[in-house]
Amino acid sequence: MKRSGKLILNASLYTLPVICSMPHNLLLKLINMTQQFHSLVNNLHQPSVLVIGDLILDTYLRGASTRLTPEAPVPVVNITSHTCVPGGAANTAINLRYLGAAVTFAAIVGEDTAGKEAQALLSKEGIHTYLINCNSRNTIVKTRVIAGSQLLTRYDEGTEIPVPDGCEEKLIAFLEDTFDHYDAIVIADYNKGVVTPGIITALERLNAERKKFIAVDAKRLDLYRQLRPSLVKPNYHEIMQLLQLPEKSSYRAAQLRDMGGAISRLTGAEVVALTLDAEGALIFNKGEIVCHTPAYPVSQLNVSGAGDTYISAFTMSCLSGMELCDAAEMAAAAAAIVINKDDTAYCARGELIAFFSMHNKYLDSTAQLKEVCAVYKAQGKRIVFTNGCFDILHSGHVSYLTRARELGDILIVGINNDESIKRLKGSTRPINQLQDRMEVLGGLGAVNHIIAFGKPGDDTPIELIRTIAPDVFTKGGDYTREGLPEAEVVEELGGVVTILPVVPDRSTTSLIRRIHTSPVLKVAQG
């Protein structure tokens, strides 16, 4: 969500519908990538990234319209909110920051209110800025007027011609002084006049002396051929202009699949991530096709800023050592998240964790659990939590968990780890090890997520309950509310405790006893 002048970190409201509509093969990819992504996120250092490009201030005027103006057949909009967010190259900087980078943003702006507001917004987000005030320019502002969910018009203002020599020289001097400080350079060139041929030449010289990871998203990639970028991200329209080929409305991937060599020669890039909207992206490495990654389904379509997110996520993935195809999957997921948001948006690291966790039943940390629950809560989902050993799953367990799920939308199960069960049940337990118990539980359709718990001195799920803040905490009828140490914590967090009746004569202990007293077992042992 956003307030005027402030970006508020929040889980995407649309992540779950995106995944629920996902084809089976994409869902399997999500599940397979989850563990790898979590490992990379946990081990990722905070790279230092410089972003250079055209700063745009995106302004949104929202309101309601119930009539037409008498002057002309156009709607009258009663404005109820006025929101400003950093756009253009500044949105790339925002995305990199929320994905975990230490970001410096360099640009040239006008000596005006819009430039000052953009700088203040970036500073609030922890981004170091080097903004050169140029008195011959006006900061670019794009203002959108929206009635309800309908965009009615957009009007633009600001200077889009190349910056004057004096301002260009200041930016080049800054690059020369700080080039060594960064792990990567991201150039977001919207062709608004900031990234001049002189600045590109300076970057070519600096990079030849001290090679850096350089990613370029530009309207005219041919201008960067001598820079030999590590990564470029053209879209379909840009690449067709570069290749001087006619555009098609469909089968774009097939049209361009064999064009990697030509694209590599024209851009000078080592890696090309060619985005094709609904057809996903083609990834080339040194002119050879590496993979074709599909686009994730989206529940609404707001592409403003999606390209900024894509190149930011791709760059961060490469800096973390991820393989190119996995980096493309990560970038596609990040783009899907922002396309489902309103306005110019960013993708946070936590949202990616949640995206790749939503269909993984087995959660391995409270941090992962927290992000998943944040998404469910943002969507208004009612979360039910229960816990137990589930040593030998029987019909009583299945009946209980089915009824527990009916108390809400999402059922999360805490399962005692092996050491915890030994402390609670004795040295002969558990009969089945944790991994086996989790896999059996995971086969139940009523269960959405499973997470293990238990540590010396505390075999209660209180830590999980504090992380989840469930709407409902449920236990079987062999417990009472007064006998549950967790109950008070649940109610402090606004949840309710519900005791469900158990199926008579169904328990793991009685099942083990029956096995030991079984005549068939005794004959077999004899």
CA distance 329 to 307: 14
pLDDT band at 7, cuts 50/70/90? very low
Q: Where are the beta strands (DSSP E) in 28-157?
A: 48-53, 55-68, 75-88, 102-110, 128-134, 140-147, 150-157
Per the annotation, does 251 bind a ligand? no
pLDDT (average), residues 138-164: 93
Query: What values do phi and psi take at 283, rounded to 5?
Result: -110, 125
What angle separates helix 306-319 from helix 89-98, to the nearest 10 degrees? 50
**Is pLDDT larger for residue 24 or for residue 183?**
183
Per the annotation, does 236 bind a ligand? yes
pLDDT (average), residues 87-107: 95
Whether 341 and 304 have beta carbons less than 8 Å apart is answered as: no
CA distance 421 to 419: 5
Per the annotation, does 24 bind a ligand? no
Instruction: Work out whether strand 271-275 and strand 231-232 pair parallel, antiparallel, or are unpaired.
Output: parallel
Helix boundaries (H) for 344-461 = 349-355, 366-378, 395-405, 418-425, 434-442
Cis omega (within 30 of 0) on the bond before 430? yes
Sign of the Cα pseudo-torsion (254, 256, 257, 259, in order): positive
- Cα end-to-end span (Å), the chain: 69
Helix boundaries (H) for 75-183 = 89-98, 113-124, 165-178
The per-residue pLDDT of the chain, averaged, comes to: 86
Instruction: Specify the pLDDT at position 112.
Output: 93
Q: Is 99 exposed, middle or buried (0-12, 13-18, 19+ CB in 10 A)?
A: buried
Q: Which of 54, 308, 326, 391 is catalytic?
A: 308
pLDDT tens figures, 154-193: 999 999 999 999 999 999 999 999 999 999 999 999 999 9
CA distance 278 to 298: 10
Per the annotation, does 235 bind a ligand? yes
CA distance 495 to 271: 50
Above 90 in pLDDT, residue 453?
Answer: yes
pLDDT (average), residues 228-236: 96
Q: Is 308 a catalytic residue?
A: yes
Amino acid at 24: H
Residue intervals in the chain for CATH 3.40.50.620 = 382-517
pLDDT (average), residues 248-273: 94
Q: What percent of the chain has pLDDT over 90?
A: 67
3-state secondary structure of 230: coil
Q: Tokens representing 256?
A: 């361009």
Q: Tokens representing 142?
A: 């794009």
Above 90 in pLDDT, residue 298?
Answer: no
Instruction: Specify the pLDDT at position 191.
Output: 94
CA distance 361 to 411: 10
Domain 47-211 adopts which CATH fold? UDP-N-acetylmuramoyl-L-alanine:D-glutamate ligase (3.40.1190)
pLDDT tens figures, 233-247: 999 999 999 999 999
The closest alpha carbon to 315, from 301, 326, 331, 299, belongs to 331
Q: Is 422 exposed, middle or buried (0-12, 13-18, 19+ CB in 10 A)?
A: middle
75-88 sheet: strands from edge to edge? 75-88, 55-68, 140-147, 150-157
Residue 321 CA, chain-centre distance (Å), reads: 18
Q: Tokens representing 203?
A: 């970057």
Q: Point out the least confidently predicted range of 167-181, 252-266, 326-340.
A: 326-340
CATH number among 3.30.420.140, 3.40.50.620, 3.30.465.10, 1.20.120.330, domain 382-517? 3.40.50.620
Q: Which residues of 360-380 are buried (b: 16+ CB within 10 A; e: fewer)?
A: bbbbeeeebbbbbbbbbbbbe
472-476 sheet: strands from edge to edge? 362-363, 449-453, 410-416, 383-388, 472-476, 496-500
Instruction: Specify the pLDDT at position 412.
Output: 97
3-state secondary structure of 99: coil
Q: Point out the least confidently predicted range of 342-356, 361-375, 391-405, 423-437.
A: 342-356
DSSP collapsed to 3 states, 455-508:
ECCECCCHHHHHHHCCCEEEEECCCCHHHCCCHHHHHHCCCEEEEECCCCCCCH
pTM: 0.76
Whether 359 and 27 have beta carbons less than 8 Å apart is answered as: yes
Above 80 in pLDDT, residue 378?
Answer: no
Beta partners for residue 62, in sequence order: 81, 146
Instruction: Specify the pLDDT at position 10.
Output: 35
CA distance 183 to 211: 10
Instruction: Specify the pLDDT at position 281.
Output: 95
Q: Point out the least confidently predicted range of 112-121, 238-247, 347-356.
A: 347-356
pLDDT (average), residues 41-57: 83
